[in-house]
Amino acid sequence: MTPSATVTAATLHLPGGRALSLATPLVMGVVNVTPDSFSDGGQHLDPEDALRAARVMVEHGAAVLDVGGESTRPGAGTVSVAEELRRVLPVIERLVQLDVPISIDTRKAEVAAAALEAGAVIVNDVTGLGDPGMAQAVAEAGAALILGHIQGDPGTMQRGPRYDDVVEEVFGFLNAAKTRAIAAGVDGSQVCVDPGIGFGKTLEHNLDLLAHVGRLAELGPVVVGVSRKSMFGQLLGRPVDERLAGGLGAAVWAALAGARVVRTHDVRETVDALRVATCIQGRVS
């Protein structure tokens, strides 16, 4: 069986006059500047190391670089605004020299505003506007916005997540968040949505959401982040450093089902896998 996708080609118009076409699925490379991210914690704490890693991701085909200064893995606590900014700003200031848009992965409006000031052009908010000031920060910068779904908060989200209908509940959450973003002045055509794989979800919830990416695509371009996540530990019994093949399987499925952006730590492999899948998809008559 192949997934059926109805995809309206979209373009993100970013500050600085840059346009990011989503006509084919893009890869967003993850640059976590944290000591404790679940798969790449500690690797990019030195801004020069982050720049080196980011440069390689761009060479391998990353179309966006996602910089994050706070882990949102299950059980994670929060870090202060000052600490998050201390981590991400020196990295963003370096990454702007690379020829790709930078997104800031944060749930804090103050961090988003400072990151946008430093040159980020997309805000990636895994809490779907959990911070009431977030939409205004995005609107004021004319930035694009990724709204993620979460049930609860990272500290507690994996303690027995429950839904009656996970796809429709996630759809409703993202729809409401998008409406609030637009009311605050964000251009609705610049809003992407993300089901938030692993953010308050069981394995079954994650699989249902991936199976119904097409439903979420009715709200806007869909971003999917499955890279190295625990769903592959559950499904395949693999430790975090052996989940590449599982992640590629899910990424290819998501892209064929209509996702426009795949967020990953493994850029080269994901770019290759998506290129092959979309090449074949283009010949389906």
Which residues are designated catalytic?
A: 229, 263
Does residue 71 bind ligand HH2 (CB under 6 A)? yes
DSSP 222: B
For position 225 contacting ligand HH2 by CB under 6 A, the verdict is yes
- Residue 72 binds ligand HH2, judged by CB under 6 A: yes
Buried b / exposed e over 204-230, threshold 16 CB at 10 Å, is: ebbbbbbebbbbbbebbbbbbbbbbbb
Among 119, 128, 148, 200, interactor with ligand HH2 by CB under 6 A: 148
Query: DSSP characters for 36-67?
Result: --TTTTTTT-SHHHHHHHHHHHHHTT-SEEEE
Q: Residue 280 Cβ, how far from ligand HH2 at the closest point, in Å?
A: 26
**What is the rounded CA–CA span in Å between residue 247 and residue 137?**
33
Q: Which amino acid is at 158?
A: Q
Angle between helices 134-141 and 166-183 (to 10 degrees): 60
Q: Is 6 exposed, middle or buried (0-12, 13-18, 19+ CB in 10 A)?
A: exposed
CB of 58 to ligand HH2, least distance (A): 18
Give me the least distance between CB of 13 and ligand HH2, in Å please. 19
* Among positions 30, 57, 116, 219, the unique one binding ligand HH2 when judged by CB under 6 A: 30
Cβ proximity to ligand HH2: between 4 and 112 the closer is 112
Does 194 contact ligand HH2 by CB under 6 A?
Answer: yes
Residue 263 makes contact with ligand HH2 by CB under 6 A: yes
- Apex CA 270: angle with CA 253 and CA 9, to 5°? 60
Q: Does 124 bind ligand HH2 (CB under 6 A)?
A: yes
Tokens linked to 26: 């893009």
Largest CA distance in the chain: 54
Name the residue nearer to ligand HH2 (CB basis): 197 or 279.
197
Residue 9 CA, distance from chain mean position: 19
Helices (H), the chain: 47-59, 81-95, 109-118, 134-141, 166-183, 203-211, 213-216, 230-236, 244-256, 267-281
The distance of closest approach from Cβ of residue 258 to ligand HH2 in the complex, given in angstroms and rounded to an integer, is 16
Of positions 64, 118, 197, 244, contacts ligand HH2 by CB under 6 A: 197
Does 278 engage in binding with ligand HH2 (CB under 6 A)? Answer: no
Which of 205, 263 has the CB closer to ligand HH2?
Answer: 263
Q: Is 38 in the site for ligand HH2 (CB under 6 A)?
A: yes
What residue is closest to ligand HH2 based on CB? 225
Closest contact distance (angstroms) between CB of 202 and ligand HH2 is 15
Q: Which residues bind ligand HH2 (CB under 6 A)?
A: 30, 32, 34, 37-39, 68, 71-73, 105, 124, 126, 146, 148, 194, 196-197, 223, 225, 263
